Structure 1
Amino acid sequence: MTRCIPERRSGPRLICSVIGTVMAMSAALSGAACADESGVSYWLPGRFSSLAATPGVPGWSMAEVYYHTSVSAFGAAAASREIQIGRFPAAVNVNLDLHLNAQADLVLLNPTYTFATPVLGGQLAIGVTGLFGRSAADLNGTLTTGFGPFATTRMGSIGDSVTSIGDLYPQVTLKWNQGVHNFMAYATGDIPVGAYDPNRLANLGIGHGAIDGGGGYTYFNPQAGHEFSAVAGFTYNFRNPDTQYRSGIDFHVDWGASQFLSKQLFVGLVGYAYQQITDDSGQHPILGGFRSRVVGVGPQIGYLFPVGDMQGYLNLKGYGEFAAENRPAGWNTWLTFSLSPMAPASTVTPTRRIVTK
């Protein structure tokens, strides 16, 4: 007798396609961002990591992320928050003997649609991220109170928090694959519709628009399970209409490296570097150009599993920050759960084998 036996897709290639979609979704996420005028960039370092440039599976996908951060700052980075809420005139000499503590717990949702029809020879995907959560901040030390050109100081603390929604973050990506080499171009930005008050220490919106774009590369050898990704970009910030403050242009690099231990499990490292390359404008003279910088690195682990006819994915990654300048620094963690279309069971033409009994 004879039977038609189709050749099935190999495990590593399945991992490449499914994880590529999942990591692209988590890469699109953005967190509680404040303008550089408060010491934190629109760009949330860590948005991209492993397999960021790998093309995914066409169709709708959804990623949910729980993001937690805990940071602190001293000197000018802390004083910038007091200047933001106090709006001191240039004549007021703000004291830099301050300590800032800030925390955020956020839930982010990112629906993404990946097109099957090639665009410029690559794979096009569009998505938007929204967030809900709580942000809190407090200042301790020598506080300044301004009265026109005069000021008084006192020792004490102030703080507040907000629980609400954040801004919206649309994103478009275009990806190309050439064997183990993958390339990506992306564009994203900020639609300032979230909770923002210039007189509040803690915010979930940034109070102004921003545009960010760049490109990335992923090396992925599915047979050996080796992977490395890097994505770089620039952020252009528009003027904040409430404070007349404009943050400078920012440059950032996110990277990830991983090793697959099986078809479902991988471990690795993630990191980022962020550097503001032009001065702010509209800032208090005591802050100078107020260019920000930070570097972060940490571990990651990911696991794949089926959810009905969809592909489920869990990822946990964390960053410890150092080399910070003019911005708070500390640590942050990302817990991602994603659902994406299952990769096709077969990607090659079935072959006929003759089986004799």
Structure 2
Amino acid sequence: MTRELSEPSFRGWLIHSSVGVAVLMLGSLSQVAYADEGGVSFWLPGQFSSLAATPQVPGWSMAEVYYHTTVSAFGGVAAAREITIGRFAPTVNVSLNASLHAQADLLLLNPTYTFATPVLGGQLAIGMTGLFGRSAASIDGTLTAGFGQFAAMRMGSIGDSITSFGDLYPVATLKWNAGVNNFMTYLTGDIPVGAYSPTRLANLGIGHAAIDGGGGYTYFNPQTGHEFSAVAGFTYNFKNQDTQYQNGIDFHVDWGASQFLSKQVFVGLVGYVYQQVTDDFGQHPILGGFQSRVIGVGPQIGFLFPVGDMQGYVNLKGYGEFDQANRPAGWNTWLTFSISPMAPTSTVTPTRHMVTK
């Protein structure tokens, strides 16, 4: 391995932090893919990973992300979706002999502008993410609803799919650098303009607004190529006016660890922990608080290359999920291409770890 990463290479790799921004708000991916109402959350775990808190080269950047997920769930999650879409309204109990399966293929576009003028001593960036794609879901099995002394049984399969646009997700980040230590804070939210209907099993919008904020840290040493990042945040969900359902507050941590093998190539691990910390409001009593949880971990690889006078970047990462509660779980992959300004070669100072902003 090269003893020390060159300054242009290091500054170029900082586009990875904008990649995290590019996929900040993907709860809209599918109304059956992730928690809370019916198993759906605003926050999609895995949005941040390596170098999330490192400052970037000022100017415009663009990230394109192809995202695929395949998940499944049993019991309460399947019953919650049937209740949400109005297939039945049990008053006493439900047998949970049913399974839900869902997958989604999405394309996300995220233009971001990074300001050169410091704000509160840090580097401000703002962006907007939009998505287009396809979501599909199905429920199979038997659901038995109790009505006093009577019971109604539903058998068979329900399927749905949609190809359309999702919600819009504005985001702002503020980052500070102190040698090998980097710090950040972020604020994002959901503008519910995507394809959504409370009677559909699959959607590309979540049907309500949300706001999410938090902070993160990155350790990066260009001399050794060692890096570790972690970003934590909370989501507050507003009420879905179509269903009168309000998700609880969600807590999430995304992390990434990587090692440069050369000036252009790195490998590492990524992971996340997602935990709902307060109960939902408006859920059917048989569902209880319906607090959701999931953990994911997987590998990543990245490659840097010039694109004319710009910096190109490709990253592939994947997560396998486990320890889920009240939400589907499975696996997901992210293929990212990003282009951003190239760091001026005149700023190279080989004996320094970072460029002072």
Relative to the length of structure 2, the TM-score reads 0.91
Indicate if the aligned counterparts of 2:91 and 2:146 stay in contact, CA closer than 8 A. Answer: no
Q: Does 1:226 align with 2:226?
A: yes
CA distance in 2, matches of 1:244, 1:157: 27
- Provide, for residues 94-146 of structure 1, a one-character-per-residue CA deviation record: whole Å limited to 9, x for no partner: 33211000000000000000000000000000001000000000000114589
SS of equivalent to 2:283: coil
Gap change, CA 1:284 and 1:87, over 3 Å in 2: farther
Q: Does 1:12 align with 2:11?
A: no
Indicate if the aligned counterparts of 1:89 and 1:148 stay in contact, CA closer than 8 A. Answer: no
Corresponding residue of 1:137: 137
CA distance in 2, matches of 1:12, 1:142: 61
SS of equivalent to 1:95: strand
Indicate if the aligned counterparts of 2:116 and 2:123 stay in contact, CA closer than 8 A. Answer: yes
CA distance in 2, matches of 1:125, 1:273: 26
Corresponding residue of 2:255: 255
Relative to the length of structure 1, the TM-score reads 0.91
CA distance in 1, matches of 2:119, 2:291: 38
Gap change, CA 1:104 and 1:146, over 3 Å in 2: farther
Indicate if the aligned counterparts of 1:258 and 1:268 stay in contact, CA closer than 8 A. Answer: yes
Q: Write the letter of the residue equivalent to 1:294.
A: V
SS of equivalent to 2:291: coil
- Provide, for residues 239-284 of structure 1, a one-character-per-residue CA deviation record: whole Å limited to 9, x for no partner: 0000000000000000000000000000000000000000001001
How far did 1:17 drift?
1.7
Q: Does 1:22 align with 2:8?
A: no
Q: Write the letter of the residue equivalent to 1:130.
A: G
Larger displacement relative to structure 2 (77-86 or 216-225): 77-86
Q: Does 1:286 align with 2:286?
A: yes
Corresponding residue of 1:71: 71
CA distance in 2, matches of 1:146, 1:310: 63
How far did 1:188 drift?
0.3
Gap change, CA 1:12 and 1:147, over 3 Å in 2: farther
SS of equivalent to 1:246: coil
Larger displacement relative to structure 2 (266-275 or 135-144): 135-144
How far did 1:346 drift?
1.5
CA distance in 1, matches of 2:87, 2:146: 9
CA distance in 1, matches of 2:145, 2:208: 26
Corresponding residue of 2:306: 306
Q: Does 1:94 align with 2:94?
A: yes
Gap change, CA 1:346 and 1:146, over 3 Å in 2: farther
Gap change, CA 1:194 and 1:148, over 3 Å in 2: farther
How far did 1:92 drift?
5.5
SS of equivalent to 1:173: strand
Corresponding residue of 1:6: none
CA distance in 1, matches of 2:19, 2:318: 17
Corresponding residue of 2:39: 39
How far did 1:18 drift?
1.6
Gap change, CA 1:42 and 1:179, over 3 Å in 2: same
CA distance in 2, matches of 1:270, 1:343: 26
Aligned CA-pair RMSD? 1.9
How many residues align? The count is 340
Larger displacement relative to structure 2 (15-24 or 219-228): 15-24
Corresponding residue of 1:175: 175
Corresponding residue of 1:246: 246
Q: Write the letter of the residue equivalent to 2:327.
A: R
SS of equivalent to 1:86: coil
Corresponding residue of 1:62: 62
Corresponding residue of 1:327: 327
CA distance in 1, matches of 2:118, 2:193: 33
- Provide, for residues 139-172 of structure 1, a one-character-per-residue CA deviation record: whole Å limited to 9, x for no partner: 0011458999976213211111000000001100
Indicate if the aligned counterparts of 1:24 and 1:53 stay in contact, CA closer than 8 A. Answer: no
Gap change, CA 1:284 and 1:305, over 3 Å in 2: same
CA distance in 2, matches of 1:133, 1:147: 40
How far did 1:27 drift?
3.4
SS of equivalent to 1:22: helix
Corresponding residue of 1:337: 337
CA distance in 1, matches of 2:112, 2:55: 13
CA distance in 2, matches of 1:15, 1:230: 22
- Which protein shows a greater Rg? 1
The gaps in structure 1 that reach 5 residues or longer are: 1-9, 350-357
**Equivalent runs, 1:104-253 vs 2, <5 Å:** 104-143=104-143, 152-253=152-253
CA distance in 1, matches of 2:223, 2:325: 42
Identity rate, percent: 77
Q: Write the letter of the residue equivalent to 1:298.
A: G
Indicate if the aligned counterparts of 2:266 and 2:301 stay in contact, CA closer than 8 A. Answer: yes
